[in-house]
Chains A and B, each alone.
Chain A
Amino acid sequence: MSSLLPEFLLILTAFFILIIDLFDAFNSESSLSPEFYALSGIGFSIISLFALWGYAPTTYFGGQFVVEEIDIFFKGAILVAGFFTVTLLPAIFNLKNLVKNHYPEFIVTLLFTLSGMLFLASSRDLVTLYVSLEMATLPLFALTAWEKSKFSAEGAIKYLILGAVGSSFLIFGFGILYAFTGSLSFESIRVALAQPHQDTLNLVLLAVAFIIPGLGFKLTLFPFHTWAPDAYQASPTPVTAFLSTASKVTGLVLATHLLLRIFSFQLKDLQPVMVVLSVATMTLGNFVAMKQENIKRFMAYSSISQAGYLLLGFLTLSPEGIASVLFYSYIYIFTNMAAFAVITLHIEQTQKQNILSLKGLSKTSPGYAAVLMLALFSLAGIPPLSGFVGKFFLFSIAAKQGYHIVVAIAAINSTVSLYYYLKIIKQMYINSPDEDTPSLKAPLVTKAGLILATMGTVFIGLIAPFYDQILWASEQWFKLWIK
């Protein structure tokens, strides 16, 4: 039972907060504000997650729910993303009128999404996969529309419609897969797909064609990314942060299940598709980000381009591949969260979302400007920050497969990405602020989250044992599974 503990703790905290809200207990002065409960809930679930570390992979619900070392790392990443998102919340929800802007409900929805994502990581058959995927995505539609701004509804609706289209493609694809074995578990499908005899070959083709868009939607790959900019812009900044980190990691989890656990024998033939998709995503993400004015929309395209880099990790069926993806996703979460912390404070306190409004931030609040600069440099992949180390390992996977041209394109793309990151740094450091701009003030919790994220951005890449542990975990997984 213990390996279900992380998910269970989250749901328990969610209900606990609901009950407190029921009795309207938050308004009284004595009680702690809701995010403390959420933070402690997530904290406990992280601790329980890593307590599972030593035990051999444990299976529940007849093989539908399995916790392997690799899943522990994926779940860890999701929980960390959730943790940071919660630290951002006090910055935007002014605690006086909790009831009016439904702060406790926001946290509850968030916790439900998180638990859905954790279930997804351990699912081993199509039903659990689909259910937990929807459990992870549906609350997000609600969270995107939380703000009372003019366009929040529009963004949420677009997100929902495309989400529905994506999941319908997914279901159709799963249907075709079901035709092969009659059972829904990944393992049996994978084995069945190992030697598809001639006439079912085009069926496999159709299945793949239907499933990739579903994955593409979740991972914001090129043709399926169109929802992301609008959804990121419409939602409140912490949710944008959550979308760009946690939902990105969920996409990676989905990719691990689909590409490595189901289509592992088709991976060789899928390489050209994946290469085209990743190059297209990178290039689109980087080149469009150059022309963006709005900060949130800009971060959307930046995260789309990161998805392009992450896809490179799936080009190979080797432990290094999944290890570098995981390593980079941890780095990406810490970096993005550091960046979003400053952006949330800025947008919240100046009510302006235009990049130009960042003018002279280094003079008004030097500390936050330095943090944002470090985060952006890490996103651009500049050593000695950890973004570079992560990207280097990812590109090395593509180079290992001999795709040197792809590595070249990716390298050029990261130079282009440096251009638009430097544009922001120019605003902050070179241009001078208008006279009266006040310096940014941050609630204690957000400041703590910010410091933690910055420490992660700088040090994760330098600490070798962290990567070695991830690599060991993926080797265990491959050893256990490729036999």
Chain B
Amino acid sequence: MGILSLIVFIPFLTAIFILFAKSPKTIKSIALAGTGLHLLASFVLTYLFFNSPQNINPDPTGLSLQFVEKWDWFSSFGVSYFLGVDGISLAMILLTSVIIFTGVLASWNVENRSKEFFALLLLLVTGVFGVFVSFDLFLFFIFYEVAVLPMYLLIGIWGTGPKEYSAMKLTLMLMLGSAFLMVAFLGLFHLSGLNTFDMTKLAQVNFDLQTQRWIFPTLFVGFGILGALYPFHTWSPDGHASAPTAVSMLHAGVLMKLGGYGALRIAVYLLPEGAKEWALFFMALTTINILYGSLGAIKQKDLKYFTAYSSVSHCGMVLFGVATLNFIGFKGAVLQMVSHGLMTGLFFSLIGMVYGRTHTRIINEMGGLAKVMPWLATSFYIAGFASLGLPSLSGFVAESQIFMGGFMGNPWHDLTWMRVLTVLSTMSIVVTAVYVLRGLAQVFMGPITNLHFNELTDASLTEKVTTALLIASLFFVGLYPKFFVDMIEPAINPIINRLNM
């Protein structure tokens, strides 16, 4: 029972404990203890990752995984319980443990049926952790769908607004995405000739161009549906608007990163030739994604739609980074996943807090709240500045990498086209500035619009801890990116070597 299985199953065990707890008080404290313990475990993992001797994979295109746990499961089918962690997965684990910890804190006042709520939330996060550490396609797929499924109940039961409609739409579209993945995984399994789902072995197989030409888009679209790729993003605004705070925090913050992570880890790594064929097309699609998301956010009336469209645009940037097919672009994509995860986590938790007070999410109905709740206003502004890419915050570090990557181009694509697309997507930093400032100015600045806002209270202790933790991590990534860059770079080398092979 290595540390990785521990990382994956701590949330699951906490969920089991919660099922036996009685009063909401104990339920919440168990959930908090569990996620706190998990946060500690991921820090220990990071410490061990950097300090323990690295087993470096001799073959340059091979993944060098640490803390590997590998047991045969369906041996006749080539399925094995294969866990491992490298730079990219570690970055994502850190992000997820921070988000789930703050998520539990942010949902401190969920009263109705809180036992099921926290159990499902922790089940969802178990799936997410499982995806980030599993290197066997079958296991990957199991955790991938476990991560998606509790969403239906979480949004359906505890959501607001047209919750059934958006819960159903969200679950069905994400399941359709995983249907694409199943087809592609089975295709990979059978066309690889060797009877195994083990990613490291499949990476040595050079599939012929014909198969790569159809499997790559299936994989990319399958992951893109979860990563809010352009035409398939429609579930995200409704889904996030109806979801309760912690769920939309977890979903936009972490679940949408599974798409980007999968696209990079599986689609590009296993099918380099397919990637070279399709990357420019997907780059164009994600550029639309970026501009479309940010422009769409300008006219949004509801704060949650406002953030949902902004995360569509930011997740588009992740997929844009993956589609650039060069070293800086990949690193930018992973950094953007981490930074956007933190940003959206902060945004949605704040919206939850503001909604808890003003009981409205319509931007025009609110005004001049800064005077009444300075702490929330400042953290909202920090989140806004992070999302428009202000230096010293994580947004800038990630976006500059992605745009530099897009600008540097790669040997397989026509440089001017990539330059045009990069310039177009860089314009998003202006559009983001426009809608962020317009929205925040309307809600927080200016005179107080209606009177009984005056006796609203500022952040409570749990809310202060949540926002402080997220803001601290935003600044940490923004001010000291070297920590994440050193972690991610060695993990990206095999993918780049595979492309250059």
Chains A and B touch (C-beta atoms under 8 A apart): yes
- 5 closest cross-chain pairs (CB), A and B: A411-B179, A399-B186, A383-B142, A415-B175, A430-B156
Q: Give the interface segment out of A82-90, A106-114, A418-426.
A: A418-426
B186 touches A395 (CB 8 A): yes
One digit per residue, 1 when the CB lies within 8 angstroms of any chain A CB and 0 when it does not, for chain B 158-172 equals 000001100010011
CB distance from B243 to the nearest CB of A (A): 14
Interface residue range, chain A: 20 to 34
B55 contacts which chain A residues (CB < 8 A)? Answer: none
Q: Which of A378-423 contact B (CB under 8 A)?
A: 382-384, 388-389, 392-393, 395-396, 399-400, 402, 404, 407-408, 411-412, 414-415, 418-419, 422
B153 contacts which chain A residues (CB < 8 A)? Answer: 425, 429
Name which residue of chain B comes closest to A401, CB basis: B190
B142 touches A467 (CB 8 A): no
CB distance from A320 to the nearest CB of B (A): 8
Q: In the complex, A400 Cα to B72 Cα: how many Å?
A: 22
A388 touches B171 (CB 8 A): no
B180 touches A384 (CB 8 A): no
Partner of B171, one of A393, A395, A418, A430: A418
Number of chain B residues whose Cβ lies closer than 8 Å to a Cβ of chain A: 33
CB distance from A426 to the nearest CB of B (A): 6
B20 contacts which chain A residues (CB < 8 A)? Answer: none
Give residues in A with beta carbon < 8 Å to B. 320, 377, 382-384, 388-389, 392-393, 395-396, 399-400, 402, 404, 407-408, 411-412, 414-415, 418-419, 422, 425-426, 429-430, 464, 467-468, 471
A418 touches B189 (CB 8 A): no
B182 contacts chain A at the CB level, 8 A cutoff: yes
**Secondary structure type dominating chain A contacts:** helix
B76 contacts chain A at the CB level, 8 A cutoff: yes
Partner of A468, one of B75, B146, B182: B75
CB distance from B71 to the nearest CB of A (A): 10
Partner of B142, one of A377, A388, A408: A388
A396 touches B189 (CB 8 A): yes
B187 contacts chain A at the CB level, 8 A cutoff: yes
One digit per residue, 1 when the CB lies within 8 angstroms of any chain A CB and 0 when it does not, for chain B 169-202 equals 0011001100110110011011000000000000
Name which residue of chain B comes closest to A412, CB basis: B179
Name which residue of chain B comes closest to A467, CB basis: B74
Known: A383-B141, A415-B172, A415-B176. A430 touches B186 (CB 8 A): no
Extra contacts besides A377-B149, A399-B190, A430-B164 (9): CB < 8 Å: A383-B142, A384-B142, A384-B146, A393-B77, A395-B182, A404-B214, A412-B176, A422-B168, A468-B76
B330 contacts which chain A residues (CB < 8 A)? Answer: none
A419 touches B172 (CB 8 A): yes
A388 contacts which chain B residues (CB < 8 A)? Answer: 142, 145
Q: In the complex, A389 Cα to B182 Cα: how many Å?
A: 12
15 pairs from A and B in contact (CB 8 Å cutoff): A383-B145, A388-B142, A389-B74, A393-B77, A396-B77, A404-B214, A407-B183, A411-B180, A415-B172, A419-B172, A426-B164, A429-B157, A467-B74, A468-B74, A471-B76
A464 contacts which chain B residues (CB < 8 A)? Answer: 72-75
A425 touches B190 (CB 8 A): no
Q: In the complex, A246 Cα to B212 Cα: how many Å?
A: 43
CB distance from B221 to the nearest CB of A (A): 12
Q: In the complex, A425 Cα to B120 Cα: how many Å?
A: 15
B207 contacts chain A at the CB level, 8 A cutoff: no
Q: Counting chain B CB atoms within 10 Å of each CB, which of A320, A404, A419, A468 scores highest?
A: A404
A389 contacts which chain B residues (CB < 8 A)? Answer: 74
B142 touches A396 (CB 8 A): no
A407 touches B182 (CB 8 A): yes
CB distance from B334 to the nearest CB of A (A): 26
Known: A400-B190, A419-B172, A467-B76. A408 touches B138 (CB 8 A): no
A392 contacts which chain B residues (CB < 8 A)? Answer: 138, 141, 182, 186
Q: In the complex, A419 Cα to B176 Cα: how many Å?
A: 11
Q: In the complex, A396 Cα to B186 Cα: how many Å?
A: 6
